Structures are given as structure tokens and as C-alpha cells.
Chains A and B, each alone.
Chain A
Amino acid sequence: MSALYLILNFFALAGLYLSLHAQFIAFIQILVYAGAIMVLFVFVIMLLNLGDEKKLNERFSWKKIVGAGLSFGVLMELIFVFAYSKSNLPPSQFEKATEIGTVENIGMQLFTTFLFPFEVTSVLLLAAIVGAVVLAKKKLN
């Protein structure tokens, strides 16, 4: 059930990206996250066939209280910083955002300024493919 809500969250985030005029990122969000990654998650949940979630025995402990308390503290700190950083921000350039988020501009940047990271990404994906196949194989010889 939580996986389905995560998919909903990804779609909502794609909508927020559209509201920020980042069209390419919004489409990639839906394709990669809601499409590829969540299908992977749902497949793994199906394959493992865990049955009742309650059997996992989610115990109540003081560590969790401390963790949640610390996280809440960090949240308050972040909100405080963001709320009081308004006067330090440079002037908004939001009118330019309609041009920078298009597929045309992103592709142009990707194959000129960011060419080297883009090529390195392909090596990373190859390593991930090989690693996933090796790890999920039935028997390691």
C-alpha cells in the first residue's frame, strides 16, 4: 500500500515541476520514477510475497523516539532557516524559467557543458546493470 502512495507522491512532484516550468524534468520524473523505479519496487514486493506486514514486528523502542525527535528538530531548524532567509535571496529570475526547462535547452546543455558527466553516467548505468544481474542470480559460482 505504501508503494502506491509513493507513486502518487511522484506524480504530485511531477506536477510541481511543471508549475516551476521544468517540463523535461517533469516528464523524466513520470517516466523514470513512476514508470521504471516503482514498477521495480512493485515487482519485488510481489516476488518476495511477504504476506502480512504486521508479522515484521515493528517494535516500539526509545531509539525510535530519539530518532523522530532529532528529525523533528532538524525540520524546525530547516524551516527557521528558510523562513528567515528571504531577505538574503537574490532577485527572482523566474521569467527566464520558461526557456530553460524546455527539452531543447536541456539537450543543448547536456551535450555541450555537461557532456563529460553525461558520458560517465553511461558507465555508471552499465555497472548498475551488471551488478544487479550478478546480485540477483540464483547461485554465485
Chain B
Amino acid sequence: MELQPYLFLSAITFIIGVVGVLSRRNAIIVFMSIELMLNSVNLSLVAFSAFLGDVTGQMLVFFAMTVAAAEAAIGLAIIISMFRNKQTVNIDDINIMKW
């Protein structure tokens, strides 16, 4: 089994997520990019787990998915309340915590 191709794919999807977070201004799309980054790290963890014959990597992926589910629920709730107050999801317009 080759480990390298999985790691390359993981790196590429991670960077796609990073570019999405840095360059898009739509909060929902930024959020989806974060999910993409979490997924790419999961892929490399599972690849290492299979390569080394160790179950720990897959357990870590399980917990990462739990955290991602919680994070998605909270993040989308924040986006909804943000949209309710400001009528926008553009993250450049939301700067109330900036000084």
C-alpha cells in the first residue's frame, strides 16, 4: 500500500480549504472550507492508521467528527443569529468585536 498519494490528496484538499477561508467573504462558504480542512486531516489520519496498523488514528478521526458536528451546529446557529441582526453574511461587514 502506498501512503504518499493519500498524503498528497490530503495536503491539496487542506490548501483548497485554506484558500477558501482566506479569499471568500461569504460566511457559509468560509464555514464549508473549514469542514473541508477538517476532512483532509481526517483522511491523512486514516491513511496513517491503515499504514501503521494502529487503531488510534481512527479513534482520533471519530472524535474529530464529533467535534466537527458540534462545531457545525454552533457555527450555523451563529450565522443565523448574525444574519438576523445584520441582514448579511458578508464577514467584512461583521466587525463588532474589532477595535
Chains A and B come from one and the same complex: yes
How large, as a class, is the contact surface on chain A?
Answer: 35 or more
- 38-56 of chain A: CB within 8 A of chain B: 40-41, 44-45, 47-48, 50, 53, 56
How large, as a class, is the contact surface on chain B?
Answer: 35 or more
- 8-38 of chain A: CB within 8 A of chain B: 9-10, 13, 16-17, 20-22, 24-25, 28-29, 32-33, 36-37
- What residues on A are CB-neighbors of B18 within 8 Å? 71, 74
With known contacts A129-B73, A132-B73, A135-B74, A92–B15 Cβ distance under 8 A: no
Interchain CA distance A113-B35 in the complex, whole Å: 28
- CB of A90 to closest CB in B, whole Å: 7
List 10 A–B pairs whose Cβ atoms lie within 8 Å, in order of A's numbering.
A2-B29, A3-B32, A17-B43, A22-B46, A41-B76, A58-B24, A71-B15, A92-B1, A127-B70, A135-B80
Apart from A56-B26, A68-B19, what 14 extra A-B contacts exist at CB < 8 Å?
A: A22-B46, A22-B58, A28-B62, A33-B35, A37-B68, A40-B76, A41-B72, A44-B76, A56-B90, A58-B26, A82-B7, A94-B50, A100-B54, A117-B63
